[in-house]
Structure 1
Amino acid sequence: MLFLRLLWQIPTSLVLVFIVLLCLNEYAIARPGRRIKDISYVTTNAPGVDAQRHLLDVYTPRKSVGTAKRPVVMFIHGGSWNSGNKDIYSIIGRRLSKQGVVAVIINYQLAPAVLVPTMADDCAQAVKWTTRHIADYGGDPDRIFVMGHSAGGGLAALLATNDQLFTNLGMSKNPVKGAILDDPAGLDMFDYLTKMEYSNDQQYLIPYGKEPAIWRAVSPIYYVSDHTPPMLMYSGERTYPSITDSSRRFDKLLQEHKIKHDYKVLPHKKHIPMVTQLFWQHNIIYRELLVLVGAGK
């Protein structure tokens, strides 16, 4: 109680200064990574190209490791399929690059302009670009992993499980070697939208449309197979019930197919803190991610 009283007496300006200094300190710590901004991952003059949404940033470690190529992690932002921007998550790119990973942070088209199937196609296009060009930035095209939070976690899971996304792009195989799912949303939107159990569920008919066949087609849970790549899964103990339920069922299905994976429920965490924790370098997700992708090897 005494601490709270003292905190209340601190002028707002000093609190803001402290927050700014903390942010600058964290930025300085993560600064060793190099950011290459606003690279188009589709042909810029192709029909339907969005000049802002079909962009990605690459973050590379400043320290060289000779001719060795580094593992690659592509991060997909969340935002209920209707908001979000790669620039908000630059700290994740810097954190990863500081720890020896080439990071790719992407934009993709959003609702209401497009539906989720188009978003998934955008993400697959970004992976395809990465396989073709990441070696130019020191990344290993044979070690591409996908990562995402919330809606981005669901899209990352879809990339890892649905090979057809890459077949549609003329690729002979799915290049994704593993996935890191941070409080993923949309693992089973067919079940979610069929039940409509929660208030405001109608809002998700804007990004998903009204066709149950589409809900199922973009739900990763229906694509898990014996050749699904390794995964790390995390959900918050206090996250949304729908995420808790679908994550548990996804975990069970991975177990049934004997997929190498790990699923952790992080104590006391709500949905948003599940991504803001990535602000800190020594977060458990980074520690386990580095092992999965083989950073330093």
Structure 2
Amino acid sequence: MTPIYRGMDQAALDAGYNNSLAVANSSALLADFDQRSAALRAEYSSHLDLRYGQAERNRIDYFAGDQPGPLLIFIHGGYWQMRAKETFSFLAAGPLAHGMHVALVGYTLAPDATLTEIVSEVRASIAWLRNHAADFGGDPNRMIVSGWSAGGHLTAMCMDEPGVIGGVAISGIYDLAPVRLCYLNNKLQLSDDEVQSLSPLSLPLSLHPLVLMYGSDELPELQRQSEQFGAARSGLPGKLVPLAQRNHFTILNELAAPDGAITREVCALAGIK
């Protein structure tokens, strides 16, 4: 077999980015996420599907805290071509327990949108929240952006949005070069220009604190992505945090839990003790 990236042939590279295949019970974990999310959405049903743009998935679910406070904006994953914000509502439970407001944003999936368009949509959702969060008690000048997997990439791409004071990127993708070479590109159809202009590793680094978190049980390529980006950000605000015995899916429980490791980092960035 001919190596095409870091000594991997096509089959190895494809497997190197297939998180669902790597985690044997991923379907059961996602079903559990859906169930827990449905329960939270039933409890916080006042501000669901707030429209920020014209596309069908340009909607925000806003979970308001009990009193005015900082806002966590969460961007779901699924390699920019799967999943929906509704699956990840359960993650709001951790920050809500500390008085934070939480907004989950949706966006058009590939191939119905290019990655350039997806980034623009997510930026638009953050801009909408800056203009409207105060209506629900959120502080538009204390917004933390976070996301998982593809959402980690989108987090890194949106750190310069006005009102964002820090970010927590979870199990993210920061170099799109291998993505263009593997099965994920069937729907993304990344151009050479997009690989360069949409890879956080290739762009000017944000001076806002950015915490990069990943599980020690994740695929080696996913771990490398975080480690490489963390090394590039050496000396800048933020840190690289590997979480022991967490895979690409179980790591999210560290945000859903009030005392979870990710929840603690989000609260620290927001100034909550």
Which of 193, 198, 211 matches 2:191?
211
**1:37 paired residue number:** 48
CA 1:101–1:288: 2 relative to 1, 3 Å: same
Q: Is the 8 A contact 1:224 1:254 kept in 2?
A: no
CA 1:238–1:131: 2 relative to 1, 3 Å: same
SS in 2 for 1:153: helix
RCO greater where, 1 or 2, for CA within 8 Å and sep 6 or more? 2
One-letter amino acid matched to 2:171: D
Percentage of pairs with the same residue: 22
Report 1:124-143 matches (<5 A): 124-143=123-142
**1:4 paired residue number:** none
**2:65 paired residue number:** 61
Tell me if 1:50 matches 2:61: no
Task: Point out the structure with max Rg over C-alpha.
Answer: 1
Tell me if 1:202 matches 2:183: yes
Please report how far the alpha carbon of residue 97 of structure 1 lies from its aligned counterpart in structure 2 after TM superposition.
2.0
**2:9 paired residue number:** none
Structure 1 residue ranges, 4+ long, deviating more than 6 angstroms after superposition: none
Please report how far the alpha carbon of residue 280 of structure 1 lies from its aligned counterpart in structure 2 after TM superposition.
2.5
Please report how far the alpha carbon of residue 27 of structure 1 lies from its aligned counterpart in structure 2 after TM superposition.
5.1
**2:216 paired residue number:** 237
Please report how far the alpha carbon of residue 273 of structure 1 lies from its aligned counterpart in structure 2 after TM superposition.
1.4
RMSD of the alignment, in Å? 2.5
**Cα distance in 2 for residues equivalent to 1:93 and 1:57:** 10
Q: Is the 8 A contact 1:177 1:230 kept in 2?
A: yes
**1:107 paired residue number:** 106
Query: When the two structures are superposed, what TM-score results if normalisation uses the length of structure 2?
Result: 0.80
**Cα distance in 2 for residues equivalent to 1:289 and 1:31:** 24
Please report how far the alpha carbon of residue 263 of structure 1 lies from its aligned counterpart in structure 2 after TM superposition.
1.1
Structure 2: gaps spanning 5 or more residues: 1-30
Residues 154-197 of structure 1 show CA distances to partners (whole Å, capped at 9, x for unaligned) of 1111111xx5xx6xxxxxxx432111111112x0103x246x4x
Q: Is the 8 A contact 1:149 1:183 kept in 2?
A: yes
Residues 231-268 of structure 1 show CA distances to partners (whole Å, capped at 9, x for unaligned) of 1111111212222112111111111xx21112111112
| Count of aligned residue pairs for this structure pair | 240
CA 1:115–1:92: 2 relative to 1, 3 Å: same
